[in-house]
Amino acid sequence: MDVRNRVKNVLKMCGHALVSTIHVRMDTVEHQLTTINDQNNNIAVTQTALLHAAIHSIEVQQQMQIKMQEEIDSLKRTLEAHGLKQPSPNGDRPLELHKAG
């Protein structure tokens, strides 16, 4: 029986060692999982911010295009009112006076 008790004692000690090792490993896995979840949340926040910035940029670009077209139309009207020709699209000719007929 003495051998039997010794075997039981050894198994208990090994069992405690295995259980503590498993707990340490599980704690490490839980910590890694928490870190990954935090990183995923940060990525989601960053992607949302980038999406909002892109939407804002597109909206501003559209507003700027509208304003630019309004300015071009205004300039054309001003040129016509003063009897000037519009410059060529490539911009290599200076403004010329319109000859009234």
CA distance 5 to 32: 40
Please state the pTM of the whole predicted model.
0.50
Which bin fits 60, alpha (ψ -120 to 50), beta or left (φ > 0)?
alpha
Report how many helices (DSSP H) and strands (DSSP E) the chain contains, helices first. Answer: 1, 0
CA distance 29 to 37: 12
Residues of the chain with pLDDT under 50: 95, 97, 99-101
46: Cα separation from own chain's centroid: 5
Residue 1 has a pLDDT of: 59
Task: Note whether 95 and 79 are within 8 A (CB).
Answer: yes
Residue 101 has a pLDDT of: 45
